[in-house]
Amino acid sequence: MLKAVALPACKAFVACAVGVALALPAQARTLSASFPGASIPLAELPAQGRATYALIHAGGPFPYDKDGTVFGNRERLLPAARRGHYREYTVPTPGVRHRGARRIVCGGPPRLPEACYYSGDHYASFRAIAP
């Protein structure tokens, strides 16, 4: 069960996400075990990636309309799953006026994902996020 603590009034995306403290479920702590690609520790994600990861587990609010929508895995770089299993989230890129190329894609229930993956190159590659 996730526990959100001290969620401040959200005036800025990063400020909101930084105020969220999470207790991650056991299934999330083992997410990289089933992914054959490289993994990345949560602490090594860019600050915006850590903030997005926190928002995913808190259930939002998300800054982009596309956040939380179904990711089709057309590239077939993630483990095979039924349609609708994966959802995508934007990791803001400082200095760009659009969504940029950075994303987190999570599989499983929206607030309790079984696994999350980081792409810094708009789905050309993924790394499993190890909390």
Instruction: Please check whether residue 22 is in contact with residue 57, taking contact to mean a CB–CB distance below 8 angstroms.
Output: yes
More confident residue, 117 or 32: 117
Least reliable range by pLDDT among 43-47, 109-113, 118-122: 109-113
Whether residue 131 is predicted with pLDDT greater than 60 in this model: the reply is yes
Among the listed residues 44, 85, 98, 122, the single catalytic one is 122
Q: So what's the pLDDT on residue 36?
A: 53
Domains of the chain: 13-130 (3.10.450.30)
Among the listed residues 44, 57, 88, 98, the single catalytic one is 88
88 is an active site residue: yes
Q: What is the pTM of this model?
A: 0.74
More confident residue, 4 or 61: 61
